[in-house]
């Protein structure tokens, strides 16, 4: 997106980046191989404006020489004018997108849901019914900022996606709702800034977590999360993280 794209808040970040990328052909030809060095599963997040865009993107990814472990279908980006969360806030649109992705992609399919959806639990259940193997809950919350000197919104699109610690309690509630609605794994995402936050997400029902904004502050947070999970397992006499998933619900 043009103009100002990031504004810090008291407890998070507003962003209106707009899904900037070089396109799927360039990504597969020039960038994807750079991720192979770590020897870890590669999960590709895909965005689209039309169903034809979606299918064409999937076909290009299927031609990659590198194994892609899963596709994460992005139906939740709040700061683009076409596509993004417009696919994820109406059940009919979500159903058509997930169904098209499922038909085009034979591998594992995740759906990244929008917290702006009327019911995260119902939309998670709909995704499961259309063939998703996991749902990611969720993306950023809509917010805005005003430039008081200009007396105008900071962002050209007016609204932007809020992430960071401020949204964690909201994201935790959404994970709880989704985990209670589906049998497939829920990936917790939103506001995780401390190891304890990741543990809370897992106890609420997340099988795994994603971390974003906090990495701007602490690039070692993933390692700290692993240590916290190991400590908690020892303290509770449990053997694996799987034993913690949804433990707060029992």
Render pLDDT for 207-250 as a digit per residue (tens, 0 to 9): 999 999 999 999 999 999 999 999 999 999 999 999 999 999 98
Given a contact cutoff of 8 angstroms between Cβ atoms, the answer to whether 205 and 178 are in contact is yes
Is residue 1 a part of any domain in this protein? no
Is residue 199 a part of any domain in this protein? yes
Is residue 80 a part of any domain in this protein? yes
Cα dihedral 130, 131, 135, 141 sign: negative
Is residue 212 a part of any domain in this protein? yes
Is residue 124 a part of any domain in this protein? yes
Is residue 69 a part of any domain in this protein? yes
Domain span including residue 146: 6-249
Q: Is 127 helix (H, G, I), strand (E, B) or coil?
A: helix
Provide the number of structural domains found in the chain: 1
CATH number at residue 31: 3.20.20.70
Residue with more model confidence, 156 or 206: 206
Q: How much is the pLDDT for 78?
A: 52
Is residue 207 a part of any domain in this protein? yes
Instruction: Provide the annotated active-site residues.
Output: 77
Give the confidence band of 24 by pLDDT, cuts at 50, 70, 90: confident
Is residue 73 a part of any domain in this protein? yes
Phi-psi region of 18 (alpha: psi -120 to 50; beta: other; left: phi over 0): left
Residue with more model confidence, 39 or 194: 194
Given a contact cutoff of 8 angstroms between Cβ atoms, the answer to whether 132 and 108 are in contact is no
pTM of the shown model: 0.90
């Amino acid at each position: 997106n043009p103009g100002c794209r990031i504004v810090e808040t008291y407890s998070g970040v507003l962003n209106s980046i707009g899904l900037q990328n070089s396109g799927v052909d360039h990504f597969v030809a020039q960038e994807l191989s750079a991720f192979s060095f770590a020897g870890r599963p590669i999960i590709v997040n895909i965005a689209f404006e039309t169903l034809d865009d979606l299918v064409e993107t999937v076909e290009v990814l299927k031609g990659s020489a590198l194994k892609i472990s899963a596709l994460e279908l992005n139906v939740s980006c709040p700061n683009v004018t076409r596509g993004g969360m417009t696919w994820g806030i109406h059940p009919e649109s979500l159903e058509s997108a997930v169904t098209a992705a499922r038909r085009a992609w034979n591998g594992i399919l995740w759906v990244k849901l929008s917290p702006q959806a009327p019911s995260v639990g119902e939309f998670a259940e709909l995704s499961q019914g259309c063939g998703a193997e996991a749902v990611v809950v969720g993306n950023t919350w809509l917010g805005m900022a005003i430039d008081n000197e200009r007396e105008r919104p900071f962002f050209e699109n007016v609204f932007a996606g809020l992430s960071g610690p401020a949204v964690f309690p909201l994201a935790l509630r959404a994970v709880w709702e989704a985990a209670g609605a589906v049998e497939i794994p829920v990936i917790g995402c939103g506001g995780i800034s401390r190891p304890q936050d990741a543990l809370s997400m897992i106890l609420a029902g997340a099988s795994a977590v994603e971390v974003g904004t906090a990495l701007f502050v602490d690039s070692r947070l993933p390692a700290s999360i692993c240590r916290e999970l190991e400590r908690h397992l020892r303290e509770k006499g449990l053997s694996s993280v799987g034993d913690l998933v949804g433990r707060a619900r029992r």
